[in-house]
A = this chain, B = another copy of it.
Amino acid sequence: MKKLIIGVDVGGTNIKLGLLNSSGKIISRSRLITVTFSRDQHRLIKALCDAIQALMAKNHVQRKDILGIGMGLPGPINSAEGVVKYLPNIPGWNDVPLGRIIQSKLKIPTFIDNDVNLITLGEWKFGVGRGYRNLVCMTLGTGVGGGLILDGKLYRGEGFVAGEIGHMLHSALKQKSTFGFYGYFEHFVGNRQLIANGQKIFGARDIRIQDIFAKAQQGNPRAIRFWEEIGEHIGNVLVSIINLLNPRLIIIGGGVANNFKFFHPAIKKIIQQRAMKVHGQMVKVVRSRLGDSAGLIGAYVLVKQELGLK
């Protein structure tokens, strides 16, 4: 009886794979480093198929056991047609019907979507967003992504590219940015900016984000202020989102969310001060629960939804 699902989470530097059982639990995992061959589209597709088959073989699973493959990719995806429009960090992908290609190679139903959309689906159905009808999921990393559950449904937008929180316009008093005093939100809180700020504050060229976390843990006031300022930036962009979309929940994920406890108080304060009263009182900001597995679990949700199951 077909009941397993394969989840694939394609990132800029590596690919995570997972075999999920009928209740959405990851029962086996594997990982693939993409960076060496990602510039060659055909090699990447072949590597994907090989990795899926290897995961199946390792688990003594056959095609007939698999309901479908769900795959998340870092870029705009026409999920209805299974087409990768392009991948900002992997050149050469333009309107590639990846869903159909994988499906015809492996003879397994394959569905693809944007990676942050899958994280959002995962957190919504199995993580901290369970039972919510209106939520926004924000992922903090090199870029800043977003996924929207509106009226109990993933909202993808007219061209499947909604949720670009990192490209909302943002501004800060002291900081000149891309457009005069305006800039994209991710230029204020993306990893590169965080590291650049950390280098400046601590005078250490090789500082990493986890070092600034460790310093904050030790009570270093400059590190604590560093995270507070991140929280203020996040809070300000969230105020706009909250007043526009009136969500019940905001989920913050991505690597930087490990520092949640240091930036969350500032977010709360800004929302309290600046969001409209009704909007601000009903929204909660929480850390993602599924961490690294959210995308794979979201792939499970996607396959189930697309096949009309549950």
Contacts and interface: CB of A to CB of B under 8 A. Distances in A.
A43 interface: no
A245 B85 CA distance: 18
A151 B148 CA distance: 12
A168 to B, nearest CB: 4
B169 A173 contact: no
A86 to B, nearest CB: 8
Interface in A83-137: 85, 133-134
A240 interface: yes
Contacts of A246: 156-164
Interface stretch (A29-37, A195-203, A272-280): A272-280
A167 interface: yes
Given A150-B150, A173-B181, A282-B158, A244 B165 contact: yes
A193 B37 CA distance: 56
A155 B181 CA distance: 32
Interface in A208-256: 236-237, 239-241, 243-248
A76 interface: yes
**5 smallest A-B Cβ distances: which pairs?**
A157-B246, A171-B171, A168-B240, A162-B246, A167-B243
A173 B180 contact: yes
8 contacts: A85-B278, A155-B245, A161-B246, A167-B276, A168-B244, A169-B239, A240-B240, A241-B244
B276 A164 contact: yes
A260 interface: no
B146 A244 contact: yes
Contacts of A155: 150-151, 245
Contacts of A156: 246
A64 interface: no
Contacts of A179: 273-274
A279 B157 CA distance: 9
A171 B161 CA distance: 25
Contacts of A162: 244-246
A83 to B, nearest CB: 13
Nearest to A235: B169
A182 to B, nearest CB: 7
A285 B239 CA distance: 24
Contacts of A279: 159, 161, 164
Given A164-B279, A168-B240, A247 B158 contact: yes
Interface in A174-192: 179-182
A168 B238 CA distance: 9
A58 interface: no
